[in-house]
Chain A
Amino acid sequence: MKNLFSMEKLFGGFLSNGDQANAFRFTEVEPALALDGEVVFDFLGVTNMTSSFCNALFATLVAHHPETFFTKVRFQNCDELIREFIMGAIALGKRESKEFA
């Protein structure tokens, strides 16, 4: 089973609001991560975001689930810029997970 989140349909082409990202993580993504199967974030149509959005969602997920994140979470249709944002958030999450440990 695959849980797919279409980011453009959920938040538009520019992902901006960190509070929205954090609420989405808590209400949609964390429960999906607890289920079987991959959690896929589809960035088709997303051209830009803020660090606040990306970090609130992905850095916090990595910090909370450092192992599950790498086995279950996948990203698709990311252009190079979106990729850099996500890579930065993952680096931040790993740093936070070490601080929590």
Chain B
Amino acid sequence: MLPPRVFDPNFHKLLGLLALIDKEVGAVVLDFKSVDYWIPAAVVAVTAMVTKWMEESRSVKLINYQNCGAFRYLKNIEFFAKLGLELPRTSTPLNDRFTSVEVHEVPTSCDTSYDQGAIVRRSAECLCGTSDPYDDTLLFAQYALGEMMGNARQHSGGVAFVSAQFVKGPDHARIGVADAGIGILESFRQNKPPHYFSGMTDEEALESAMKPWISSKSHLTHGPYGESGNKGLGLAMVLEMLQSTNGELFVASGNSYRRYQGRQPPEIGQLAGGNSIHGTFISIRFARDQVDNFKKILIDTQKTMDLTPDPKATNLFL
């Protein structure tokens, strides 16, 4: 039985349950009877895990989904379609309190032809309710989506999914990105970046991954294109931007999770039952009124990364 309501504080419990199912063998039956509201990260986490099980030829059956409280929402964001259930989409708006971005698949390879920018632009416009390319919330959402999707695409080795939602009442935008790939520790183990050490735990790998200048691939070559372009800054900059705007970031991989709320010390914990899950799962939340000047947020974030602009560089702009 799937949990009725999943928000950031109890997301690790859902991940623990998915990890437990993943560990078992045989058919999977997911009972949606009680499902009432899930944050986008929970939706894409289940999508990623079900996709993984189906790829492993495990039988997956969804039951009681048509009567659950979240049915229309899940149907409208193409959750069921992504799992192979072709249900007619409702054309009427779901609820004027919500704006939802449908579940998108993110191919996780170094395919340079993949038009990540187009998906990000469409998702951010839907999330922010504007197509004004200079809207600060839109710019912030694009940036976060782009960095999170890029991270999943480059490091997971599996298929990733992204979805988002804006809730008018509390003025919260939420974005979730999930992949059922190799996870952060295994990515470090395979690529052996300088900060990796034998015996590293999931908790230590997660802590490292959120720091600037840490990447599992920056020391490697990028296929035929010479040096890797990874600098290990993408996710760290998203985290810093969220912390500076009183936002939240939840990240889980293996058996561990970290939950950052503004500038408070992160909550660090283990998934329910101490289970370990394949992949990486990220949820962010920000308030639109906190991101009213994206350029200033960017400048401040670059300063915290010690990226002080060189006055000589201003001469390069025509």
Q: Which residues of A pack against B, CB within 8 Å?
A: 11-23, 25-27, 40, 47-53, 55-57, 59-60, 64, 70, 73-76, 78, 80-81, 83-88, 90-92, 94-95
Contact = CB atoms under 8 A, between A and B. Distances in A.
B309 A91 contact: yes
Nearest to A42: B318
B105 to A, nearest CB: 15
Contacts of A87: 309-310, 313-314
Contact of B120 (A16, A20, A22, A81): A16
A27 B139 contact: no
B309 A16 contact: no
Contacts of B116: 16-17, 20
Nearest to A75: B317
A77 B153 CA distance: 30
Given A12-B115, A12-B118, A22-B228, A84 B298 contact: yes
Interface in B108-135: 110-112, 114-118, 120-121, 133-134
B147 A52 contact: yes
A88 B309 contact: yes
Q: Specify which of B118, B142, B146, B313 lies most central, judged by the most chain A CB atoms within 10 Å of its CB.
A: B313
A51 B317 contact: no
The 5 lowest CB-CB distance pairs between A and B, nearest first, are A56-B229, A22-B229, A47-B133, A87-B309, A16-B117
Contact of A50 (B143, B222, B313): B143
A54 B229 CA distance: 9
A52 B233 contact: yes
Contacts of B317: 74-76, 78, 83, 86
Q: Pick the most buried of B133, B222, B294, B317: most chain A CB atoms within 10 A of its CB.
A: B317
23 contacts: A13-B121, A14-B121, A16-B142, A16-B146, A19-B154, A22-B227, A25-B229, A27-B225, A48-B133, A48-B139, A49-B146, A51-B231, A55-B233, A56-B229, A56-B230, A80-B295, A85-B298, A86-B317, A87-B309, A88-B309, A91-B309, A91-B310, A92-B231
A40 B110 contact: no
A17 B316 CA distance: 24
B316 A20 contact: no
A11 B295 CA distance: 21
A80 B314 CA distance: 12
Contacts of A23: 112, 222, 225
Given A21-B229, A22-B222, A12 B117 contact: yes
B226 interface: yes
Nearest to B141: A48
Contact of B150 (A52, A60, A64): A52
B285 to A, nearest CB: 20
Contacts of B154: 18-19
B112 A20 contact: yes
